[in-house]
Chain A
């Protein structure tokens, strides 16, 4: 499973794509399954056409965790949660089951979308 992420231009907030909108919670993000490759690329294309809204959109890989989807890479989990030294900062401050699922997610790999982005540069 994959999701599309970026940082919002005006404030740097981590955002996720959800059917034409940008949302702040990963739990609200649109999910692209293995069969949705074309839809994922189309969403990425739409995002790139919004340079005054977001910076550097890219797709990230997700894995199942406690009934939610969590980023495979710990870098992306930190982006989706906030810094681990200040639990009251960032998205994790909201708490709840979706945040707990991200905090408990194991499995670690490089942020594949990010690596592709760096390669393109």
Chain B
């Protein structure tokens, strides 16, 4: 993975020292809260319901064991022994004291981490395919481009005060694991007619109160022209994006108002003025690419007798293998998904001890490589088939072997009103109720892929708009109610979900989802996922069943 150079290290250390000084001035009364708030937010420090929350950047969701152990140490020393992995592939600590924040930033800086650009109207952490460098589905390693975007966008003077926050996703596989079409910019690496690589550029997707699937504004951008083109997009947005109304300030509103064709025309016009001098020199790209050089994989047979024997003798391992393993590009290896969705637990939470276990496993069996997915799980991208029984056993001991990836209990949920100052309703207890209702793994597997995503407010951090079943918490006459949407998708077939009907009280959400699942099982045809059945039948049979119960 990419290593900080001395300049990077010096900068992050300086920023930490600067923040220590700012905290000291705030506590002494030399800075008002109004003056201090933007400074702390620029370091990812929010004030929430019970304490401060520190959001730490995990660039494109990639970290090593040294960094994971430091996160565990911070969780143990300064928090309540856990952290929360988010849909932006970052980690949040929910019980931070302001007086400790400078020490925490120092601890993070010691492993090349920080909270810079995890808040504010700037370019946030780029989402990349969590299987990058491991899947044979990819045309290139998305991390190379994501790291180049990180370097380009970090403290970019022109793009540090945009009309609103800005999020980029990048994937090089046809199967999209980044929700690229729901980002401000989605980049999908494609192969051109002559074999060269380029980006399909999607602009103006997003969730929040006005969800859009982003339109493609350029079918094929040669990869070496990426940065001048990004600059052109950001410049058009910076110039014309609305600054008068926070709720209309995202680029999606501009793209929608202008129309994607006119927006694209303006970008192309700007791009022609910028020219190729704004692009990344090939030598610089090569330097970054070298940091992601393929690992030294062993030449192994496709079949592992150890792996096959363990599957035959241990049903729990066989189930884990069915649901949590993915094909690796190299024979004899697998991609391991570690679910942070233990039944009844908080989606995305990991204890300090669990973080240490993942770090140990990555170091011992996984080429020291760990990924965070936007679905709030972790990934060990390179594990030998021979080592999988040992990895599984260690995960199981740590409560990390829940075999439910992509199943109905693999639920995304934002922190909601249990923590967040913006939320209208709780999200976590709803996720817990649903998971407990579908705790029977045989039933969950029989239902198959079903993505439930829950947000505690319209800001949609829980991605509810693109859930196969989305759940949105609303404040209805002062009480927590939940609106269900169906048929959303954040994948390559991105779709915004349709509202099912009137919002339901909290205790009716899990039963309603049970009803929806029963309708799906009744209606489904060969091999259909929930989403496929919904697309074929439409909303009517689902709506009828859920609201028939109400009468």
Residue positions of A touching B, CB distance < 8 A: 7, 9-14, 51-52, 55-56, 73-75, 78-79, 82-86, 89-90, 108-110
Is A12's CB under 8 angstroms from B98's CB?
Answer: yes
From A11, A51, A56, A74, give the contact of B480 (CB < 8 A). A74
Q: Quick check: is B51 within 8 A (CB to CB) of the other chain?
A: yes
Residue contact A83 to B419, C-beta cutoff 8 Å: yes
| CB atoms of A109 and B478 under 8 A apart | yes
Query: Across the interface, do B478 and A108 meet the contact criterion of CB distance under 8 Å?
Result: yes
Contact (A84, B478) CB under 8 Å given A52-B29, A79-B49, A90-B50: no
Q: Nearest Cβ distance between residue B319 and chain A, in whole angstroms?
A: 26
- A89 and B97 contact, CB distance less than 8 A: no
* A-B pairs with beta carbons under 8 Å apart, 25 shown: A9-B26, A9-B33, A10-B97, A11-B52, A12-B51, A12-B96, A14-B50, A51-B33, A74-B417, A74-B480, A75-B417, A78-B49, A78-B418, A82-B50, A83-B50, A83-B94, A83-B418, A83-B428, A84-B418, A84-B426, A84-B429, A85-B418, A108-B479, A109-B478, A110-B478
Interface string of B90-108 (1 = CB under 8 A from A): 0000111111000000000
- Measured as residues with beta carbon below 8 angstroms from the partner, the interface class of chain B is 20 to 34
B48 interfacial contact with A, CB 8 Å? yes
Interface status of B8 (Cβ within 8 A of chain A): no
Tell me, rounded to whole Å, the shortest Cβ–Cβ distance linking A57 to chain B.
11
* B99/A51 in contact, CB under 8 A: no
With an 8 A cutoff between CB atoms, is B32 at the interface? yes
Verify if B21 is at the interface (C-beta below 8 Å from A): no
Interface: B346 (CB within 8 A): yes
Cβ B429 vs Cβ A13 within 8 A:
no
Overall SS of chain B's interface: mixed
* Closest chain B CB from A74 CB (angstroms): 7
The answer to whether B47 touches A51, judged by C-beta atoms less than 8 angstroms apart, is no
**A9 touching B346 in the complex, CB below 8 Å, given contacts A51-B33, A75-B417, A108-B478:** no
A106's closest neighbor in chain B, by CB?
B479
Residue positions of B touching A, CB distance < 8 A: 26-29, 32-33, 47-52, 80, 94-99, 346, 417-419, 426, 428-429, 432, 475, 478-480
Given contact pairs A85-B428, A85-B432, A108-B478, A12 touches B52 in the complex (Cβ within 8 A): yes
B478 engages A12 (CB within 8 Å):
no
| Given pairs A78-B426, A84-B426, 9 additional interface contacts (CB within 8 A) | A10-B98, A10-B99, A12-B48, A12-B97, A74-B480, A82-B50, A83-B50, A89-B95, A109-B478
> Which residues from A are CB-within-8-Å of B417?
74-75, 78
Contact A9 B98, beta carbon cutoff 8 Å: yes
A52-B29, A78-B49, A89-B95 known; A110-B418 Cβ under 8 A: no
The residue of chain A having its C-beta at the shortest distance from the C-beta of B29 within the complex is A52
Q: Assuming the A-B contacts A10-B99, A78-B417, A110-B475, are A85 and B29 also in contact, with contact meaning beta carbons closer than 8 angstroms in the complex? A: no
A51 vs B98: C-alpha distance when bound (angstroms) = 14
Asked if residues B50 and A79 are in contact (CB atoms below 8 Å), the reply is yes
- Across the interface, do B346 and A51 meet the contact criterion of CB distance under 8 Å? no
**B461 CB to nearest A CB, Å:** 16
Closest 10 pairs between A and B when the two form their complex, measured CB to CB: A109-B478, A83-B418, A11-B97, A12-B51, A85-B428, A52-B29, A12-B52, A108-B479, A108-B478, A85-B346
**Smallest CB–CB gap between A78 and chain B, Å?**
6
A54 to chain B, nearest CB (A): 10
Chain A nearest Cβ from B480, distance in angstroms:
7
Complex: how many Å from CA A69 to CA B100?
Answer: 33
CA distance in complex: A56, B32 (Å): 12
Residues on B with C-beta less than 8 A from A86 are: 80, 346
CB neighbours of B478 from chain A (8 A): 73, 108-110
Q: Considering the chains assembled together, what is the distance between the CA atoms of A90 and B33 in angstroms?
A: 24
Task: Report yes or no: A51 in contact with B29, Cβ–Cβ below 8 A.
Answer: yes
Cα A45 to Cα B492 with chains together (Å): 55
**B32, B96, B419, B429: residue with the most chain A Cβ atoms closer than 10 Å:** B419
> Closest chain A residue to B98 by CB distance?
A10
Question: Quick one: which of B49, B428, B475, B480 has the most chain A CB within 10 A?
Answer: B49
CA of A9 to CA of B32 in the docked complex: distance in angstroms? 11
CB distance from A81 to the nearest CB of B (A): 9
B269 to chain A, nearest CB (A): 39
Report the minimal beta-carbon distance from B13 to chain A, rounded to whole angstroms. 24
- CB closest chain-A residue, reference B424: A75
Contacts of A109 in B (CB 8 A): 478
- How far is it, in angstroms, between the C-alpha of A88 and the C-alpha of B419 when the chains are bound? 14
User: CA A56 – CA B429 in complex, angstroms?
Assistant: 28
Query: Which B residues are CB-close (under 8 A) to A82?
Result: 50
- By a CB distance below 8 angstroms, the chain B residues around A12 are 47-48, 50-52, 96-98
A83: chain B residues at CB < 8 Å are: 50, 94, 418-419, 428
A80 smallest CB distance to B (angstroms): 10
Residues in A neighbouring B29, C-beta threshold 8 A:
51-52
